[in-house]
Structure 1
Amino acid sequence: MTNRHQIENCLGAFNQDYRHFIRQTPLWKLPGKALGVACAEVWLKLEHLQTGGSFKARGMLNRLLSNPIPPSGVIVASGGNAGIATAAAAKELGVHCEVFVPEVSSPAKRARLAALGSRVVVTGAAYADALQACLARQQETGALLTHAYDQPEVLTGAGTMALEIEQQGGLPDAVLVSVGGGGLIGGVASWFEQRSRVVALEPELAPTLFKAREAGEPVDVAISGIAADSLGAKRIGSMAWDATQAHVRDALLLSDESIRAAQLWLWNELKLAVEPAAALPLAALHSGRYVPRTDEKVCLIICGANLDPASLV
């Protein structure tokens, strides 16, 4: 399982040679009242400003730097963000990239992939279908496989964002994290461990971790809803499962309506243009699914911004 020593070494490598690529994204501290929340402070980790528009750049670059890359390059299946991050990292390193995306992926994300010079293959109704096609293609070409969420280098890279939060602001009382396949929460939980309360958030229509906890192990679930293009894994990753079992007590579900309302609030009130997956932490506060103490400092991971701006009206 990813550990804090690995995360520290990864961030050190980023800061030494790739500060132009992996950005130290801002930590915006606001009084709780500024967001309509009855707590001392709300911290917004603005990871949607990361290279490629999401936290995924950290894990994907770490995966590529940690392994030899064959002449056929790299290959990934993604709802969009992991593909964009892999394509950006491949362009940075000057290697070929092939990305398999499902039909549910947004046109905005596909356009971004093409602009980064990757070969884009649209196949299957959901992420799991694109993944199967990607794995078959990888067997043909021998390209380095970058998994969207279930590789140790990916979790370690994601954990560097949590380390940055502590460097920038100290330890928050709670960290609210959106969950799809679990790469982000796996990395965040591996850094904070029990020192901050890490809370897993999922859409009601994409409850991979919630259903795994009901079953006592990772299971396949039906995926749909407003955030399916980025939180569209049908099963929680095995590494995220281990990390969350060790370090995450709470797994909460949110309605699509509350997620959409939070997304629009972030745009209308703070001018943050983010995708639905990035709005789950605020939705948890506004809907009352997570109720902080009045003296609490709560950190919201604003994880991605690959959206069509026209969707914010």
Structure 2
Amino acid sequence: MLRTDVRVARRRLAGRARKTPVFHTSVDGPDGPVPVSLKLEFLQHGGTFKVRGALNALLAADEGADHVVVASGGNAGIAVALAAAQLGKACTVVVPESAPHTKVAAMWAHGAEVLWHGTSYAEAQRRALTLAAERGAEHLHAYDMPAVVAGAGVIGLELEEQVRGRPPVLVAVGGGGLIAGLGAALGRRRQIIGIESEHTPVLSAALAAGAPVDVSGQSRSTELLCATRIGDIAFDIAQRQRMTALSVADAAIAAARTYLWREFRVVVELEGAAALAAVQSGAYVPAPGERPIVVLCGANTELPAL
């Protein structure tokens, strides 16, 4: 996975994905205000950064494929459904039984067929692979696929234009597609710090073990349903670039999301607030004079939860 792949993705996505803005501000930290640059990626089509990767993958695929299948706990399904609808393709999303209704409803709204299977993303993924073979459909991986990673990496190219200097970039890990894309785009020119929920420290566990490993932790929130194993592409890039991973508590993530709504009237989902939670909880302490970039990556949530 190279920076050139990300540049190709950017050209391919021109006019299809939004260049999301950056908001320079200060947020409450454990010892007072902390200057940050918020990348407002939740303003992307479908309310998720994953639309970039989904569109790039489908545009790069064989034009003869008219049906796509993906396994998802939520946002990847929304993204692929939206991308498929835009390109005139049929879409089937296989979701675990505990997938949030808000996200399933969004998949339906974009015309996707939604099938429930299993209690985990891993089980849904196995069914998606089988289903794609049975139907002769194209299978997209939610995060561990070169074209998906390259699409997400376009965010990194935008940040180079939007933020001066080389401040660190804090970003939620999930399955690793976003950190992998940023790593491919930025290389070692900027430090990328992966922020994980304490119940699924997939990147930390992989870096400690020297290879991707399964993490069995569970969250009380279905919104924090995510992969329990880091993708191979993300692990390779994180290891080569010596990325740092930090874990934050679910309560800190929930508090960061509530703060964004109270102070800025910004609505994000829990995973979308994870990177900010690292700053506000003190898990990440900026160096003197540093203004870190915080990526707010998704907004598919139930409003009453705020």
Match of 1:9 in 2: 8
Q: Give the Cα separation in 2 of the matches to 1:104 and 1:304.
A: 19
Match of 2:287 in 1: 293
Q: Give the Cα separation in 2 of the matches to 1:113 and 1:309.
A: 18
Match of 1:265 in 2: 259
Match of 2:17 in 1: 22
Amino acid at match of 2:155: M
Q: Is the aligned partner of 1:84 residue 2:84?
A: no
Match of 2:231 in 1: 237
Q: Give the Cα separation in 1 of the matches to 2:165 and 2:186.
A: 8
Amino acid at match of 1:29: H
Q: Which residue of 145, 152, 155 corresponds with 2:149?
A: 155
Assess, with a 3 A threshold, how the Cα gap between structure 1 residues 278 and 87 changes in structure 2: closer, same or farther. same
Contact 1:197 1:248 in 2 (8 A): no
Query: Can you give the 5+ residue segments of structure 1 that lack an aligned partner in the other structure?
Result: none
Contact 1:198 1:249 in 2 (8 A): yes
Q: Give the Cα separation in 1 of the matches to 2:271 and 2:282.
A: 18
Post-superposition offset of 1:35: 3.8
The 3-state SS of whatever aligns with 2:193 is strand
Match of 1:275 in 2: 269
Q: Which residue of 43, 46, 57 corresponds with 2:51?
A: 57
User: 5 Å matches for 1:180-219?
Assistant: 180-219=174-213
Contact 2:85 2:111 in 1 (8 A): yes
Deviation string 1:223-270 (CA, Å, 9 cap, x unpaired) is 421565455112110000001111243111111111111111111111
Amino acid at match of 2:12: A
Amino acid at match of 1:83: G
The 3-state SS of whatever aligns with 2:300 is coil
Q: Give the Cα separation in 1 of the matches to 2:32 and 2:160.
A: 23
Say which is worse superposed, 210-219 or 143-152, in terms of deviation.
210-219
Match of 1:110 in 2: 104
Assess, with a 3 A threshold, how the Cα gap between structure 1 residues 230 and 24 changes in structure 2: closer, same or farther. farther
User: 5 Å matches for 1:130-141?
Assistant: 130-141=124-135
Amino acid at match of 2:135: T
Query: Can you give the 5+ residue segments of structure 2 that lack an aligned partner in the other structure?
Result: none
Contact 1:262 1:279 in 2 (8 A): yes
User: 5 Å matches for 1:89-104?
Assistant: 89-104=83-98
Post-superposition offset of 1:184: 0.4
Match of 1:221 in 2: 215
Assess, with a 3 A threshold, how the Cα gap between structure 1 residues 43 and 109 changes in structure 2: closer, same or farther. same
Across the aligned residues of Structure 1 and Structure 2, the Cα RMSD in angstroms comes to 1.6
